[in-house]
Amino acid sequence: MPFFRSDKYISQFIDVTGSSQAVAKEYQTRYPKNVELGIQAYFDHQQTSQNPPTQITQKLKEVADTYRDPSKPDRIEIDGTLQYISDLGVEPEDYRALVLAYLLHSPELGVFEVSEFLNVWGSLKKESLTEMREYLDNYSEEIVANVQQFKKMYAYTFGFLMSVPNQKLLKAEDAVEYWKLLFPLIIHGEKSRERLDQWCSFVLEEWKHQVSKDMWIMTLEFFLEVVDDDPETFSKWNEESSYPSVVDLYVEYLRDAGSLPEA
């Protein structure tokens, strides 16, 4: 990674966390592709460290050893990850796979840090696949039922999907894939789901740009506040609102197509 990028990562990490340069470098090594994931992991660790010491049992270590990568023993790479989620009874396309990544602070798609695996499950006192599966099922239901928890996982997902260091924009195809995975969990009714399909088609076929973090975050807010509240007419829609311009274009697109009445 070029020096100026490394320097920017470390300075941003220190500005937000107030930590030392040594700590910043440690998290840069663990989360090189996205500083926001490193910052989140730092604060999560700080919160966990205030709890009673984690007891990492031999049984839990043996579970981790089953999946750790032989060439990178501090990580569970894609093959181990796929086997792990399969052993938990979760398909890769299941939203619970994303919940698991969020729970274990996965730094990127298909990867777990063994240290996080041990610390999180140890702090939760879950040491067997059966216990992990039961916890994951309950935690997944809790996230869907609690909109604030859902928003946190959704925000995490943007950084999680970054594929190269310092990437700032998400491919539209990737964004659409995860909108289709996540939004049906929290929007209600056939008409809201139809609006989601229209949004995804608009982004891919009409807008044709990559997705910024602001657009990612505000798309969820738009669907919660406007679309799902009144999918027929968007009665809470206001052209003076703070949604990104792509939302304005989407509304115009629907009106031009006769799918949404004029205000």
Q: Which CATH architecture has domain 58-145?
A: Orthogonal Bundle (1.10)
Would you state the pLDDT for residue 4? 30
DSSP class of 211: B
Of the candidates 232, 171, 237, the one whose C-alpha atom is nearest the C-alpha of residue 204 is: 171
CA gap 211, 247 in Å, rounded: 12
CATH number of 167-257: 1.10.238.200
Question: pLDDT tens-digit profile of 8-35?
Answer: 787 777 777 777 777 778 888 777 767 7
CA gap 228, 222 in Å, rounded: 9
CA gap 166, 147 in Å, rounded: 29
The mean pLDDT value for 45-64 works out to 76
What is the value of pTM for the model shown?
0.82
CA gap 169, 149 in Å, rounded: 23
Local confidence band at 199 (pLDDT 50, 70, 90 cut-offs): very high
The domain limits of the chain are 3-49, 58-145, 167-257
- Assigned token pair, 140: 């997944």
- Assigned token pair, 214: 């602001």
Exposure string of 60-94, with b = 16+ CB inside 10 Å and e = fewer, is bbebbeebbbeeeeebbbeebbeebbeebebeeee
Would you state the pLDDT for residue 53? 55
Query: Are 58-145 and 167-257 in the same CATH fold?
Result: yes
Of the candidates 114, 130, 124, 133, the one whose C-alpha atom is nearest the C-alpha of residue 61 is: 114
Question: pLDDT tens-digit profile of 128-169?
Answer: 999 999 999 999 999 999 999 999 999 999 999 988 877 889
CA gap 218, 112 in Å, rounded: 28
